[in-house]
């Protein structure tokens, strides 16, 4: 069933566990993610980027998620979220489609511009009952750097600024940078735990960790202990899907029926997502 991100994240924060926000791009990945949630009984946030709007059609991917949530997995609490909305217009587009949770990502803009646009997104969304995620600090992408070259100080969230940002914008959740990076990237050897704890102390909204695909178990658990309520996962799911397809193609001639190989890729997605849900502590929460 569809529920709000507010409900899922409020319960996670109160319960001291985290949920996964899993990116999808198509039918099979969505099915795999949802089957995982059904099997381990975990609430679920499914998220979509603008690139996927362009690939699949925003309305189409939204309807696929909604249909699977309402008709095929009515017992699973599912929220649908816009990931990394890059402009006010992108948020408007998602809201028109029906998304009830959005991210406006102004993290690469100067602080005042990020604050101003995020505030206008909040003012647009809140009267409609839509939750807004902002980002302060920054999360690098694997494609941008040589792994060893990252100047982590440039990407860190400043705790005092985080407090000011949340109070001034009214965002409902905050994505933070404490040494996390998108893609399978060499993370900062030790995340800046003190910084995370300080942010948690000064900011009361649920904290979101982007770039969480390759966080080892111990690190993820420590992050939850220090106040992270949601981990964004995309690369890990893609890898499960693509590596299954690629080994099927390498090992045998899959013939002309795509369904058997896609079914295996879907199954691999399911298992990769189940592991994350167990790790985050959201398994068994409904
Ligand atoms: O953090 C965002 C995603 O991993 C990138 O997704 O390729 O759909 O923009 P995208
Ligand atoms: P990963 O690349 O670590 O999966 O991060 C995904 C993400 O942050 C989506 O917003
Ligand atoms: Zn991200």
Domain boundaries, the chain: 5-280
pLDDT, greater one: 223 or 186: 223
C-alpha 246 – ligand 3 centre gap (Å): 25
Strand partners, 134: 174
C-beta of 195 in contact with ligand 1 (< 6 A): no
pLDDT tier for residue 70 given thresholds of 50, 70 and 90: very high
In the chain, the N- to C-terminal Cα span, in Å, equals 12
Tell how far the Cα of 49 is from the centroid of ligand 1, in angstroms: 6
Could you tell which of 141, 143, 235, 240 is best to mutate to test the pocket of ligand 2, judged by most ligand atoms within 8 Å of the CB? 235
From the CB of 52, is ligand 1 less than 6 Å away? yes
Residue 83 annotated as catalytic: yes
Residue 83: which H helix or E strand, with range? strand 78-85
- Residue 47 and residue 105 in contact, taking contact as beta carbons nearer than 8 Å: no
Question: Mean pLDDT lowest for which of 68-72, 164-168, 215-219?
Answer: 215-219
* pLDDT at position 65 over 90: yes
Mean pLDDT throughout 185-204?
88
Q: Which of 30-34, 75-79, 210-214, 278-282 has the lowest mean pLDDT?
A: 210-214
pLDDT at 187: 61
Q: CATH for 5-280, among 3.40.640.10, 1.10.10.10, 3.40.50.2000, 3.20.20.70?
A: 3.20.20.70
Best residue among 147, 211, 219 to mutate for probing ligand 2, ranked by most atoms within 8 Å of CB: 211
What is the pTM for the complete model shown?
0.97
Q: Which of 99, 105, 90 is nearest to 210 (CA)?
A: 105
Residue 185 has pLDDT above 70, yes or no: no
Q: Per residue in 78-134, pLDDT tens?
A: 999 999 999 999 999 999 999 999 999 999 999 999 999 999 999 999 999 999 999
- The answer to whether the CB of 187 is under 6 A from ligand 2 is no
Q: What is the mean pLDDT of residues 242-267?
A: 93
CA distance 212 to 69: 24
């Amino acid at each position: 069933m569809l529920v709000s991100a507010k409900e899922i994240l409020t319960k996670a924060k109160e319960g001291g566990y985290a949920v996964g926000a899993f990116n999808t791009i198509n039918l099979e990945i969505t099915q795999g993610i949802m089957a995982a949630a059904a099997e381990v009984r975990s609430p679920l946030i499914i998220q979509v980027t603008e690139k996927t709007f362009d690939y699949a059609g925003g309305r189409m991917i939204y309807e696929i998620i909604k249909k699977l949530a309402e008709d095929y997995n009515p017992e699973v609490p599912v929220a649908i979220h816009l990931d990394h909305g890059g402009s006010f217009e992108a948020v408007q587009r998602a809201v028109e489609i029906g998304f009830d949770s959005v991210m406006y990502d102004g993290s690469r803009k100067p602080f005042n511009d990020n604050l101003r646009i995020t505030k206008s997104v909040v003012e647009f969304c809140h009267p409609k009952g839509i939750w807004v995620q902002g980002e302060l600090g920054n999360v690098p992408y694997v494609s941008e750097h040589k792994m060893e070259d990252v100047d982590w100080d440039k990407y860190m969230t400043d705790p005092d600024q985080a407090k000011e940002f949340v109070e001034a914008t009214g965002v409902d959740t905050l994505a933070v940078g404490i040494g996390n990076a998108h893609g399978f990237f060499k993370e900062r050897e030790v995340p800046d735990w003190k910084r995370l704890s300080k942010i948690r102390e000064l900011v009361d909204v649920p904290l979101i960790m982007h770039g969480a695909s390759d966080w080892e178990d111990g690190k993820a658990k420590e992050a939850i202990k220090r106040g992270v309520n949601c981990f964004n996962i995309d690369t890990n799911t893609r890898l499960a899907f693509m590596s299954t397809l690629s080994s099927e193609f390498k090992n045998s001639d899959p013939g002309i029926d795509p369904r058997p190989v896609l079914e295996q890729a879907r199954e691999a997605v399911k298992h990769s997502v189940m592991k994350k849900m167990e790790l985050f502590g959201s398994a068994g929460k409904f």
